[in-house]
């Protein structure tokens, strides 16, 4: 039985949550879009393997967060001999633009192309994991640049969660959890002028559970 590792690498790009996919050049499912990854070497653990393969194949070295997502082991998940996959969630900050090969592109998670095998299910599982962790951990640091305005952070959370987030409420919640540190700097003024927006940062970069029972919910629909 073979063992492969796969990564759903997510980033907020152009105000949408996107995933990195590359087009398969071999059968089965030639021409379909698939997650980066490959076979696990005998001398590697799974995280070492996926970091190596991302660096070698798609030049993603600036991951701000990597975590094991799930093991996908359905006997028929790929044609032919059985292959078990360990899937990872990887996050890239919004201000990083990794170089990718010609056969690799970013795709909106909510508008995926035709994918190989069970890779669509893996992408959606990664999206749901990210949305869940945005509620009760500080994982927002992995989507954000080092310094950001509250307005920019709201756009990142809105894209990741799939609904518009209120900036005032987001600032209140994150401040209460100790997740916003004023930098003392301000953003350059926009074309319309006005008061420069304050810049903030996340105080820590390691993943932390900040409120184990918190759940971000979309605003109620108006009747």
pLDDT digits (tens, 9 = 90+) for 154-203: 999 999 999 999 999 999 999 999 999 999 999 887 666 668 899 999 99
pLDDT for position 192: 66
Q: Note whether residue 10 is domain-resident.
A: yes
Residue 95 domain flag: yes
Is residue 127, in this structure, part of any structural domain at all? no
Enumerate residues 6+ apart whose C-beta is below 8 A from 66: 7, 47, 50, 51, 88, 89, 90, 91
pLDDT at 98: 86
Does 99 reside within a domain?
A: yes
Write the pLDDT tens digit of every residue in 131-146: 999 999 999 999 999 9
Owner of token pair 């994982």: 139
74 domain residue, yes or no: yes
Domain that holds residue 29: 2-118
- 133 lies in a domain? no
Asked if residue 192 belongs to a domain, the reply is: no
Does the pTM of the predicted model rise above 0.85? yes
Dihedral of alpha carbons 95, 57, 37, 204, sign: negative
Compute, in degrees rounded to 10, the torsion defined by CA atoms 74, 79, 83, 89: -70
Q: How many domains does the chain have?
A: 1
> Domain containing 111 — which CATH number?
3.90.79.10
């Amino acid at each position: 039985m073979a063992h492969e590792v796969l990564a759903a690498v997510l980033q907020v790009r152009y105000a949408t949550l996107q995933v990195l996919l590359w087009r398969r050049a071999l059968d089965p499912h030639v021409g379909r879009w698939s997650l980066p990854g490959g076979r696990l070497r005998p001398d590697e653990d799974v995280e070492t393997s996926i970091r190596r393969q991302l660096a070698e194949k798609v030049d993603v070295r600036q991951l701000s967060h990597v975590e094991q997502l799930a093991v996908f082991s359905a006997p028929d998940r790929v044609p032919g001999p059985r292959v078990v996959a360990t899937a990872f969630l990887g996050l890239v900050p919004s201000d990083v633009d990794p170089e990718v090969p010609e056969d690799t592109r970013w795709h909106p998670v909510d508008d995926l192309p035709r994918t190989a095998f069970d890779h669509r299910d893996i992408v959606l599982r990664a999206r749901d994991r990210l949305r869940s962790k945005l509620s009760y951990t500080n994982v927002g640091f992995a989507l954000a640049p080092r310094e950001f305005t509250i307005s920019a952070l709201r756009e990142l959370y809105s894209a990741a969660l799939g609904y518009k987030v209120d900036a005032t409420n987001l600032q209140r919640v994150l401040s209460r959890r100790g997740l916003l540190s004023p930098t003392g700097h301000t953003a350059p003024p926009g074309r319309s002028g006005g008061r420069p927006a304050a810049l903030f940062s996340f105080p820590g970069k390691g993943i932390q559970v900040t409120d184990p029972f918190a759940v971000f919910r979309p605003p109620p629909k108006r009747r």
